[in-house]
A and B are shown apart, each in its own frame.
Chain A
Amino acid sequence: MAIGLHKSDIKNPVMRWVDERLPVFTMMQKEYGTFPTPRNFNYFWNFGALAMINLMIMIATGIFLAMNYTPHTAYAFDSVERIMRDVNYGWLIRYVHMNGASMFFIVVYIHIFRGLYYGSYKAPRELLWMLGVTIFLLMMATAFMGYVLPWGQMSFWGATVITNLFSAFPVVGQHIVTLLWGGFSVDNPTLNRFFSLHYLLPFVIVGVVFLHVAALHITGSNNPLGVEPKGPQDTIPFHPYYTIKDTVGIIVYLMVFAFLVFFMPNYLGHPDNYIPANPLSTPAHIVPEWYFLPYYAILRAVPDKLGGVLLMFGSILVWFLLPWLDTSKVRSMKFRPIARIFLILWVFAFFVLMYCGAMPAEQPYVIISQFATAYYFAYFLIVLPALGKLERTPQLPESIARAVLGDRVMGGGPMPVGAAAKPMEKA
């Protein structure tokens, strides 16, 4: 690109002046205005935008909570209750933040499922997918440390158990744990550093989200057919079509969110976290937040300490390899009748693990967890690599436009089997 002022198409003189020197308006117009987007998105494609909104809600509420929170073991619990009782709208901001974490995981889990079902991780979107997995790992770390901050019983014992995971590693394990704690138990130094990191990590997430979106805008979006757009007839400008469609999704999402916040704010939490932390007494039945339950079940399914820890970390890390484990040339599960069944089973196993994670570690939950864990990994390591070779898939539609609009509009020959039967997009 030549040095010199940018040639701007913006009419408004002030915006034009800025745009010539820093073409942010041109960029916005290109990436969110005219950006060519497949015309056949279904509502699953809302969830990226929802996750973005959710992240912004978490950061905004978090900043205002931090104005009133005290990261000290003697004051943390009471300072949170002071937010609930005395700070103007403090209860609202805290409950939005607290339930926002749950909403964030709901949204992101659906977003991930969308990727799994429609093969969004496949070439050329491998890096896009891996950045997404990185965001998810950062989210998990952030959520975990945030849950420690109110310094209730679950905060304390959650922190103790999760940091102790690292003690499973031979030789260095105990040193790592001591380092994480900044002492010989979870205590004030731990709380302080968790607060610092809990404030930092969301901004790291923002950075990785930026890369995630940048990568998305290089490859363009996948779509429910998994067939790349072949020309302008297959795409529509992002604005107004998807801005308004995202708006509809956002309002529905906000209604679910609002119902949780205003009518059952503690439903997804655990009552024990309203008991101040007590280092001398573990609650009878400790469980992580619901979004961590599947991994907790995997951890407990393995009778060996190190094995359990490795398998638990491996359950997420295996996602990084997914683009290469899935050998099928067909992206969308719409056209993979066998793989689709296995994926639905995998989702079922995920929920089974979530259920078992909430149950005490006794039979039959342990054996069920073991089977579910085995299938969880088998799906990635055996089923997907093998199916790519074995599965017979129907012929893919020729183009998105033909599949969406049918022959009447597009003219030409008969539709391929499997795609013509119904339009992909309801609205």
Chain B
Amino acid sequence: MADTANAATGTKRDFLTLSATAFAAVGVGAIVWPFIHSMNPSRDVLALASTEVDLAPITAGMAVTVMWRGKPVFVRHRTPEEVTAARAVPMTDLKDPARDETRVQRPQWLVMVGVCTHLGCVPLGQKPTDQKGEYNGWFCPCHGSHYDTSGRIRKGPAPANLEVPTYTFMTDSKIRVG
């Protein structure tokens, strides 16, 4: 700064400079936000955020994979044996304890995002011929995570159970995911 003639003008200038600088900072913030927000999901992407699944063709023991927000969603029609197996597991055996009852809305229908909680691969186990892992649920081939018939992590590097998306039963044989 250049020399100031006296203290009074100096104070006034400092106050002015300060407020001008603060103003500029607010301005820069206001400019940056639209750019950052433009990278968030756009309105057409958000509009596609729900998917409907018809459950009627899925017989017990079978599963389908549907696309939701660009990710696979596993919809499995569990057999009574699978449900029993899932509910018999003591909580102490679980890395990410969760009761099977809290993971489903109706016992036979298990709906999960089919993305391994380790690093995002899609686990095997949807097709009858797939490797299902040591707990008869899903097995992630990337880094060897094993999930049980409730989609809970039992073994391997994944930290958490397969995520359950929000979904609603529109009718007995139709759900909407998202």
Interface residues of A (CB under 8 A from B): 60, 64, 67-68, 82, 85-90, 92-93, 240-241, 247
Contact = CB atoms under 8 A, between A and B. Distances in A.
Interface of B: 1-2, 20, 24, 34-35, 37-40, 42-45
B38 A90 contact: yes
B43 A93 contact: no
B2 A240 contact: yes
B38 A87 contact: yes
A247 B20 CA distance: 10
Interface centre among B1, B2, B34, B39 (most CB of A within 10 A): B34
B1 A90 contact: no
A37 B68 CA distance: 61
B43 A240 contact: no
B34 A92 contact: yes
Contacts of B20: 247
Given A64-B35, A93-B35, A88 B2 contact: no
Given A86-B43, A86-B44, A88-B40, 10 more contacts: A60-B35, A64-B39, A85-B43, A87-B42, A88-B38, A88-B42, A89-B35, A89-B38, A240-B1, A241-B2
A64 B38 CA distance: 8
A67 B2 contact: no
A82 B45 CA distance: 11
A85 B38 CA distance: 12
B100 to A, nearest CB: 39
Given A82-B42, A82-B44, A88 B37 contact: yes
Nearest to A67: B39
Contacts of A85: 43-44
Given A240-B1, A240-B2, A89 B37 contact: yes
A224 to B, nearest CB: 22
A193 B30 CA distance: 34
Contacts of A88: 34, 37-38, 40, 42-43
Contacts of A90: 38, 42
Contacts of A64: 35, 38-39
A331 to B, nearest CB: 28
Nearest to A237: B2
Contacts of B44: 82, 85-86
A180 to B, nearest CB: 32
A240 B34 CA distance: 30
Nearest to B44: A86
A67 B35 CA distance: 11
B36 to A, nearest CB: 9
A240 B2 CA distance: 8
A29 to B, nearest CB: 14
A88 B34 CA distance: 7
A92 B34 CA distance: 8
A93 B38 contact: yes
Q: Which 7 A-B pairs give the minimum distances between C-beta atoms? A: A89-B34, A86-B44, A86-B43, A86-B42, A88-B37, A87-B42, A88-B38
Given A85-B43, A87-B42, A93 B1 contact: no
